[in-house]
Structure 1
């Protein structure tokens, strides 16, 4: 039985919205038993989160020795949000995606996704502001499991529904070329009704994940191709404004 968790980590914030220490972040994973975790909104070396390697902290807490991290943004995100010069690879402070696994990673890939090229209005604190559509992307890892290759993708799509819908197509086309059964995990920012026509041929189970305290929507998903998901559970943790989505694979 293989268990895969996807979680938008919200850069390690507690449910009260405060930064967590390494001990608190590790403690939030207590009692969670998984073989693979796909993370989004992960800080590495960021001052706002105490300079932690959050993917490493989570992986150690879950007993997962094989970790890959891909930067979507480089530098101190409190000051400016800049895409890295070499997409996915950054020395120093970064923010992005991660995958941690019980099994060795035999290959891994990072891919930027298309984004809205112009600034767009958002409502913040009762005022309309213009902001850039943040760079989004995907991290894929091919794992060598006892049953053979399993490919896992961690992705985070745009907050803008129409843009997220555009991003899904290249994401799934790319994922479908990976070896073995494939899982596409992440905060896709799309409800099941919007995702269904874009993900024909993929299984994705239902469980409400957002907001964490009283979830009304499912925007976090595990999409499966070539393998069946036996069950899925939304898992409330002591971190993040999302619940994790735990998928149990039928093999």
Structure 2
């Protein structure tokens, strides 16, 4: 089965700076994922045409189950405008779970016109993880989608918090997402195995791997994972084909 993670930048292309929902749907379909984790997902946002991008992606990939978890939720004249992460599956989902992640205060100036107000403490953008126990043809698999903070040291703290929160989750387990952590750091923090080693950012000429797929338990890649330029976003998607190894 194929796992993928993709920070979609609300469906925007950095080439033409446009959100084309049909182009986004084609990009998702072309990944061929059985289970897909998405980050920076809009729902009813003006900048992405007031559509539900998780729903668009689910239809495009033929998902039988999916869930969206909002980290930002604002009410306006057009209703609730939301932003967050999503997890989509071509296989049935037995159980869903949302795990909020700790936020860090940080000291930053706030702009006002051409002036800058006195710096003050603000909380980092809310972050969360969305977990599902997926009933695959090879057996149950816990899959987690997340998007961690870019603030120095805080992504590691959030990932350590997430690992502790998943201690009782059924194994095998796979965590996918934009972790804003370079290369070997996520595996070092968790002790879990990386399933993809491929640079994913920035999209045109990637120099960093900040998107990751980590496994705990009897999951192994059947071929090398890869990063994919979908024509959208400032990130490449990561794709890997895996199998659940039989016990004993």
TM-score tier after normalising by the smaller chain length:
0.7 to 0.9
**Greater fraction of residues in strand:** 2
Residue in 2 aligned with 1:151? 142
Relative to structure 1, the CA distance from residue 154 to residue 250 in structure 2 (aligned partners, 3 Å threshold; closer, same or farther) is same
Q: Across the two proteins, how many residue pairs are aligned to each other?
A: 234
Q: 2:185 aligns with which of 194, 209, 216?
A: 194
Relative to structure 1, the CA distance from residue 105 to residue 204 in structure 2 (aligned partners, 3 Å threshold; closer, same or farther) is same
Relative to structure 1, the CA distance from residue 143 to residue 128 in structure 2 (aligned partners, 3 Å threshold; closer, same or farther) is farther
Relative to structure 1, the CA distance from residue 38 to residue 214 in structure 2 (aligned partners, 3 Å threshold; closer, same or farther) is same
Relative to structure 1, the CA distance from residue 161 to residue 229 in structure 2 (aligned partners, 3 Å threshold; closer, same or farther) is farther
Relative to structure 1, the CA distance from residue 128 to residue 167 in structure 2 (aligned partners, 3 Å threshold; closer, same or farther) is farther
Residue in 1 aligned with 2:94? 106
Residue in 1 aligned with 2:172? 181
Q: RMSD in angstroms over aligned alpha carbons?
A: 2.3
What is the rounded CA distance, in whole Å, between the counterparts of 1:198 and 1:244 in structure 2? 22
Pairwise CA distance, 1:121: 6.0
Deviation larger for 182-191 or 55-64: 55-64
Contact residue 39 and residue 154 of structure 1 kept, 8 A: yes
Pairwise CA distance, 1:132: 4.1
Q: Does 1:12 align with 2:5?
A: no
User: Could you say which structure has the larger radius of gyration?
Assistant: 2
What is the rounded CA distance, in whole Å, between the counterparts of 1:199 and 1:193 in structure 2? 10
- Structure 2: give runs of 5+ residues left out of the alignment: none
Aligned residue runs from structure 1 range 41-56, under 5 A: 41-56=40-55
- Structure 1: give runs of 5+ residues left out of the alignment: 78-90
Pairwise CA distance, 1:155: 0.5
Residue in 1 aligned with 2:159? 168
Runs of 4+ off more than 6 Å: none
Relative to structure 1, the CA distance from residue 75 to residue 19 in structure 2 (aligned partners, 3 Å threshold; closer, same or farther) is farther
What is the rounded CA distance, in whole Å, between the counterparts of 1:101 and 1:220 in structure 2? 19
Residue in 1 aligned with 2:32? 33
TM-score (norm 1): 0.85
Q: 1:212 aligns with which of 194, 203, 207?
A: 203
What is the rounded CA distance, in whole Å, between the counterparts of 2:24 and 2:195 in structure 1? 28
